[in-house]
Homo-oligomer: A and B are copies of this chain.
Amino acid sequence: MTITATTTTTATTTVGVELGERRYDVHIGNFSPDAVAETLARALGGDVTGVGVLVDGELGRRSPRVAPLVDALRARLPRVARLDLPGGEASKNLAEIGRTTQWLAEQGYDRRAAVIGVGGGAAGDHSGFAAAVYLRGVRFALCPTTLLAMVDASVGGKTAVDLPAGKNLVGAFHQPRAVVAELGFLQTLPARELRAGIAEVIKCGFIADPALLAIFDAHPGGRLSDQAIAALVAGAVRVKAAVVAEDELEGGRRAILNFGHTIGHALEAESAYALLHGEAVSLGMIAAMSLGVARGITPPALAERARALLADAGLPVDLDGRVTPAVMARVGVDKKRAGKAVRFVLCAAAGDTRICDVGLDELRAHFLQSA
């Protein structure tokens, strides 16, 4: 998977997210720092009294795009201050939330202040949760800088930090006022992280939008142009926005977003997070396709197509030996279990899913035998 860097500026796409009484836009494209700042300033509102910009620390050290963005924000918004978080998952704990909220208080930010999160999924989760709880909730906006965060964290309003007992066990639903996905950040994203994000895009294709899969077909070998990336991000965000709008909180239609995640989460955790989320979801989709074939829901040709697409994108597709009894034990205690059955999203055709509760015995027989 590579992005062929071009100087062509891609067109901007705006996807509206409707959530009950609130709506916000996800802006996708190549934006100048000024354009990002203008969009964020407009979304945060003219009465905003201060802005804490929380930056993933690794991104802050590595990317030349952060400082100009903060400068542009300073030119348009009052009392802008920047805090660099620990890089990645290291920011996702209550101790760091304590440090960030204390920092917000030390800036003198009041209830009309805002938090802008700049970084990948972890920085977004940290920033969103800090914004959700500081003074019982201040405004929030998000600048996702990884492909996974652009397609996965832009919509849904889920924020969380980890506990020793597990990931994302403490959090809040807190919707951003706006999301700006500046695709330029992807130019310096490590290739492995880019591939991991692609897994979520492919997931969106299989659960809801076959046209996304066609874009991959048109770019074999994982060579995606800027335009293709922009279209994939916009398409995936559109899928997620449509699903979440129907079902703001957990349950119901939103469950289809868990395609590939039931086994995926277990593999990810059992690997002690050596597998990236997207890599685990790739394997989880392979697992769900295999289970669907065994149950007569998934046509074998569809399972083959998934394997080919994921492999072409450079994602892991070989389940052999991965679904160990230890992984199965994790599936059995997954949050989504209902009694002794485990809820799976199975795929009947591209864009057509079935929610099935599968007994633990059937799961063990299928995966431990085929493993």
Q: Interface of A with B (CB < 8 Å)?
A: 93-95, 97-98, 101-102, 105-106, 108, 110-111, 132-137, 158, 160, 163-166, 169-173, 250, 333, 335
Give Cα A137–Cα B169 distance, bound, in whole angstroms: 10
Report B-chain residues with C-beta under 8 Å of the C-beta of A158.
136
Known A-B contacts A136-B173, A172-B137, A335-B135; A163 and B110 likewise in contact (beta carbons under 8 Å): no
**Structural contact, B134 and A102, CB atoms closer than 8 A:** no
**Structural contact, B94 and A169, CB atoms closer than 8 A:** no
Known A-B contacts A94-B94, A95-B94, A110-B335; A101 and B170 likewise in contact (beta carbons under 8 Å): yes
Give Cα A136–Cα B160 distance, bound, in whole angstroms: 8
CB distance from A127 to the nearest CB of B (A): 14
Give Cα A102–Cα B164 distance, bound, in whole angstroms: 7
Report B-chain residues with C-beta under 8 Å of the C-beta of A110.
335
Give Cα A172–Cα B110 distance, bound, in whole angstroms: 15
Report B-chain residues with C-beta under 8 Å of the C-beta of A172.
132-133, 136-137, 172
**Structural contact, A102 and B165, CB atoms closer than 8 A:** yes
Q: Which of B101, B111, B170 contacts A133 (CB 8 A)?
A: B170
**Structural contact, B250 and A169, CB atoms closer than 8 A:** no
- How many copies of this chain sit in the oligomeric assembly? 2
Report B-chain residues with C-beta under 8 Å of the C-beta of A160.
136
For residue A107, which residue of chain B has the nearest CB? B165
Q: List 9 A-B contacts (CB under 8 A).
A: A93-B98, A94-B101, A101-B163, A105-B166, A134-B169, A135-B169, A135-B171, A135-B335, A136-B171
Give Cα A171–Cα B130 distance, bound, in whole angstroms: 10
CB distance from A91 to the nearest CB of B (A): 14
Most B CB within 10 A of own CB, among A132, A136, A164, A165: A136
Report B-chain residues with C-beta under 8 Å of the C-beta of A102.
163-165
Q: Which of B105, B164, B333 contacts A163 (CB 8 A)?
A: B105
For residue A103, which residue of chain B has the nearest CB? B165
CB distance from A249 to the nearest CB of B (A): 9
The 8 closest A-B pairs by CB, nearest first: A105-B165, A94-B98, A136-B171, A133-B170, A94-B94, A102-B163, A101-B170, A105-B169
Give Cα A98–Cα B92 distance, bound, in whole angstroms: 12
Give Cα A222–Cα B38 distance, bound, in whole angstroms: 61
Report B-chain residues with C-beta under 8 Å of the C-beta of A97.
94, 170
CB distance from A129 to the nearest CB of B (A): 8
For residue A98, which residue of chain B has the nearest CB? B94
Report B-chain residues with C-beta under 8 Å of the C-beta of A95.
94-95, 98
For residue A135, which residue of chain B has the nearest CB? B169
**Structural contact, B111 and A250, CB atoms closer than 8 A:** yes
CB distance from A11 to the nearest CB of B (A): 35
Report B-chain residues with C-beta under 8 Å of the C-beta of A132.
172
**Structural contact, B171 and A111, CB atoms closer than 8 A:** no
Report B-chain residues with C-beta under 8 Å of the C-beta of A335.
110-111, 135
For residue A96, which residue of chain B has the nearest CB? B94
